[in-house]
Amino acid sequence: MRPEITPEKPAPGCRKTDPLLVADGVSRVFGGLKAVDVEHLEIPRGVITALIGPNGAGKTTLFNLLTGFDNPDTGAWSFDGRDLAGVPAHKVSRLGEIRTFQLTKVLGMMTVLENMKLGARRQKGEKFWAALLPFLWKDQEREVEARALELLERFKLLEKKADYAASMSGGQRKLLEMARALMCDPQLIMLDEPMAGVNPALKQSLLDHILALKDDGVSVLFVEHDMHMVQAIADWVVVMAEGRIVAEGPPGTVMSDPAVVDAYLGSDKDRDLGDVIQTIRSSREFAPDESGVEVQRDDAVVAEQLAVTEMVEELAEHPEEKP
């Protein structure tokens, strides 16, 4: 059965039944531009949430803030009931909230296996004095290695364990980054554009892994431009534009909402993963009942975006008639 996500009508900032991450008044200004301006946002537990919106909407900046890689100008947020504002990135990941990057951050001059081991948390051998006393960490080292090998096998990267990460394709690095994120048994995994630059065969495998994470009880929050993929695997969709949350709800309703599509998704809606998605859709366990669900938007923002979209289209059709 699908967990009940929200007791309220879907609307920007609506309450969730059992939120894992809760953000309040989080803002970040870059040189006068409000890159993130989130009044209230709750990320549900145990499901896959997609964060979508045009380039420059503030998705990556929001990820950076919520994971301690950047500091907000205002705001507070909590993870699993624990206040996280001001907690640095390495501590955030120890608490079970872990993220991957839009541009992968695997270390090219280390082997695949070494990269994996870096993902483990609290390693005793990392302390200077302890490093000199192998009996303190040998067992743990073996455990970490066993876990790394198990994950590499699951991600079909075992053959590459002794290769330098730099020798891998962009898609394989994305897989490695995801496998590494799992080294510390996260509760929430945040993936920033996991599919960007990944070939179709690897996309299939990434999608399968994301769905498998949910089956393992890991909550997922991912940023993605491919709307078919979002439609296929997300249980909940949050739409961001100009730093704000402008719509949220189940994928079927949010993404068929013409105002959301026109204003925020533009040509992204036509991108297709074709067969991959068909396979996934047909293997989905539940077909969420979205009849009677209505999504509320921030109408002022939608109207503004629509006006701009229209103007751009007009200009494209009649370039000679500049306003």
Residues that bind ligand ADP (CB under 6 A): 30, 33, 35, 53, 55-61
**Distance from C-alpha of 275 to C-alpha of 272, rounded to nearest angstrom:** 9
Name the binder of 212 from Mg ion, ligand ADP, none, CB < 5-8 A by kind: none
Task: Name the one range near Mg ion by CB under 5 A: 14-22, 69-77, 97-105, 283-291.
Answer: 97-105
Least distance between ligand ADP and beta carbon 69 (Å): 11
**Nearer of residues 53 and 119 to ligand ADP, judged by Cβ:** 53
Q: Across-strand partners of 289? A: none
β-pairing verdict for 74-79 and 236-241: unpaired
Name the binder of 55 from ligand ADP, Mg ion, none, CB < 5-8 A by kind: ligand ADP
Least distance between Mg ion and beta carbon 74 (Å): 21
Residue type, 1: M
Count CA within 13 A, CB hemisphere, residue 257. Answer: 28
Task: Name the one range near Mg ion by CB under 5 A: 34-42, 64-72, 96-104, 120-128.
Answer: 96-104
**Nearer of residues 183 and 234 to Mg ion, judged by Cβ:** 234
Residue 60 near Mg ion by CB under 5 A? yes
Measuring CA to CA, how many Å separate 194 from each of 31, 74, 296, 298?
A: 29, 28, 28, 28
Residue of this chain nearest to Mg ion (CB atom): 60
Residue 64 near Mg ion by CB under 5 A? no
As to burial, measured by CB atoms within 10 angstroms (0-12 exposed, 13-18 middle, 19+ buried), residue 184 is middle
Residue 115 near Mg ion by CB under 5 A? no
Task: Name the one range near Mg ion by CB under 5 A: 32-40, 58-66, 129-137, 179-187.
Answer: 58-66
Closest-CA residue to 261 (of 38, 11, 53): 53
**Nearer of residues 31 and 319 to Mg ion, judged by Cβ:** 31
**Distance from C-alpha of 163 to C-alpha of 112, rounded to nearest angstrom:** 6
Least distance between ligand ADP and beta carbon 192 (Å): 7
x/- map, 279-308, Mg ion, by CB under 5 A: ------------------------------
Cβ neighbours for 273, distance < 8 A, ≥ 6 positions apart? 200, 203, 226, 228, 229, 232
Residue holding tokens 């996260």?
186
Instruction: List residues near Mg ion by CB under 5 A.
Output: 60, 102
